[in-house]
Structure formats: C-alpha cells, structure tokens
Structure 1
C-alpha cells in the first residue's frame, strides 16, 4: 500500500496535479494545496495507470454504470468505464442545477458509481446522487483519484480512491492565509462567491 501511494503521489507531482499556494476551492473553503487532476488527466497513459488502482477496487462491486459530474468527473468516468467495460455518462449543471441530459438516462433500479477527480466535501457527488435517486437509480459508491476530505466529513456512501491526501482546508473566516493577506486563486469550475 505504501509503495502504491508513493507511485500515485509521484505520478500526480510529475504531472503537476498537486499545487501549493492559496486556493479558493469549489466547496467555498480555502486551502494551501490544490489537486488539479486535469493536469494528470491530460496524459492518457498516466490517467490509465492511476485510475487502474480505482478500477481494481471497483471490479468486484455489483454496479451497472459510472456517472461523473461535469467537469472533473467526466474524464474519470470515461476512463473507469473503459477499464471496467461499463457505460459511462456525465451529469452537468443546467441553470445552476445538476441534471442528466444529452440523451443520457438512468433506468429504474440501475446501480451507479459516481466518479470524481477529487472529493473534498463531496458536494458535487451528493448533488449527482440526488439526481440519480430521483431517476430511480441506486448509488452504490463514490470514487475519485484523490480523496482529500477532512476527517470530520462523513459520506453516506463508501468511497474508493486511488489515494487519500491529508490537506487542511478552512472556512474563509478561519483561513490563516487570508489573515496573512495572501490573495487566493480559484482554479475550480464551480461558480462560488
């Protein structure tokens, strides 16, 4: 396990997917580190190698399809679906609300894995879970490249990740980087204030 984690972390660093600075996360929280997995996903060979660790964890699960929230989960859903020979689709925001469209559908009783690039609070995954359940599907788990949840954040579904990174995040009012006067950057895709 330790060698696996080192291989994954080295691959993330090699592709510049782990950044340091002051970041406004899509959850609205602040952090001194940011996982920009899009940097990893631009290299199909590296993405395949890292996501194989996730695929191996999912291989014996009973599920029918992979659904990735746009943007970060789209390529992850595709690659996991490819490796596991399952359908892979994505959910996206339409007028601020997560939805399944573009002719994609989830049939009543279908078992679904939700894929993300990074899980920090799980907000996007939980929004997609509501959509899946409203359509009659059953969420059997969440998966991601990087699980960077704080230990206080519990999820109602099991999480299957390539690696778990301990990265501190802060509410804006408690952020030591803000208090030090450091400007933040917002590298994520969700519109937040």
Structure 2
C-alpha cells in the first residue's frame, strides 16, 4: 500500500481533518488524522494492518509472541495487527494514571511483544506503554503504528515501523502561528492534555 493509498483511506473515511487541533501531546496542529474514524470500518482496518505487517521483516514477524497496545487509541489497530500476525492482542490501560495490564491479560516471562499504537507524535505514551509491558514480564522487540507524525523525533531502542509518516507541523500552545491562532480550537483525541 502506497502513502497515497493510505491517505485515500483516511479521506474516504472523512478522517483527514484541517483546522486547529490540540493533540494528545498538548501540542497544536492545523491537521489531524482521526485514526479512530479510519479504523471504524473493519475491512479498512484489516487492510491497513495487513499492509503494515507486509512491511515488517519476516524474522521479526516470526519472533512476535503477542501484540500489546495502549488504550484507548491503539486497541483497534493493535487487534487488527494481532489478526494479521495470527497472535493474541492485549492492551494496557491507565486506571490510576500509569499504564498496566488488567482484565486478566498476562504475558509469560520474556514473551516477545510487538507494541502497537495508532499514532505517534512525541513517543511519550509509547515509551510508557513499553515500560508497562516490560514490568509485566514481556520483552518488547518491535514497535508499530498506523501513523508516525513525529517528524523523526520519536526514537525507540527497537525497530519501529509506521504505515505512514506525516510531517504536519506542531506548535506549543504559547507559540502558535497567527493564522492557526485565529481558528477555534478543537480537541478530537481521546485524552485530555
């Protein structure tokens, strides 16, 4: 799947938004890729996950024992990656502010895990999810996301694969370009930043 084909999936779902958005990272942007909306169609989510798995090296794919995603945004895409890999998919959540496995999910000591996100902007929540997986006994051997919008700033100590890299500029709240500052703010994500 080419970058244009991925973007066409977002366009077809009405999930490529323009305006003034506050991202989960707290930064502001004139563009927003609404991953939940593009993934609401199960056939589309399956296509996108299969396309990402096809880009991953076979030695990594064959080593993966489970898929774990952070709630809320990563759950659907993580599940579809699990389906494409033929592996169980679990998620970590923040009931008290720190990611942890719950709901009877468990990893065997040293179990090799692919951590899957919907979108990566700064990589902070990804690193927190990786720490939780490792605290639960898993060994994170790779990371994947539907979208990497970090502009190369999110770096991990493991192989990282994204289906689409988008370099939409982001800005701190106190340093917005005048044209962006004039547009009413919207917060379409799942977390308050």
Shift of 1:156: 2.6
Residue aligned with 1:132, SS = helix
Residue aligned with 1:50, SS = helix
Match of 2:95 in 1: 94
Q: Which moved more, 1:50-59 or 1:131-140?
A: 50-59
Q: CA, structure 1 residues 177+93, in 2 after alignment: closer, same or farther (shift >3 Å)?
A: farther
Q: CA, structure 1 residues 182+106, in 2 after alignment: closer, same or farther (shift >3 Å)?
A: same
Aligned residues: 190
The residue correspondences of 1:41-190 to structure 2 (distance < 5 A) are: 41-58=39-56, 60=58, 61=60, 62-176=63-177, 180-190=181-191
Match of 2:30 in 1: 32
Q: Which moved more, 1:9-18 or 1:153-162?
A: 153-162
Any conservation in 1 of the 2:110–2:139 contact (CA below 8 Å)?
Answer: yes
User: What is the root-mean-square deviation of aligned Cα atoms in Å?
Assistant: 1.7
Shift of 1:85: 0.4
Residues 109-134 of structure 1 show CA distances to partners (whole Å, capped at 9, x for unaligned) of 11111111111111221111111111
Any conservation in 2 of the 1:111–1:139 contact (CA below 8 Å)?
Answer: yes
Match of 1:20 in 2: 18
Specify every segment of 5 or more residues in structure 1 that has no aligned partner in the other structure, as ranges. Answer: none
Specify every segment of 5 or more residues in structure 2 that has no aligned partner in the other structure, as ranges. Answer: none
- Normalised to the residue count of structure 2, the TM-score between the two structures is 0.92
Mapped partners of 2:177, 2:40: distance in 1: 33
Mapped partners of 2:43, 2:71: distance in 1: 22
Mapped partners of 1:28, 1:178: distance in 2: 19
Shift of 1:149: 0.8
Residue aligned with 2:81, SS = helix
Mapped partners of 1:18, 1:109: distance in 2: 39
Mapped partners of 1:127, 1:146: distance in 2: 18
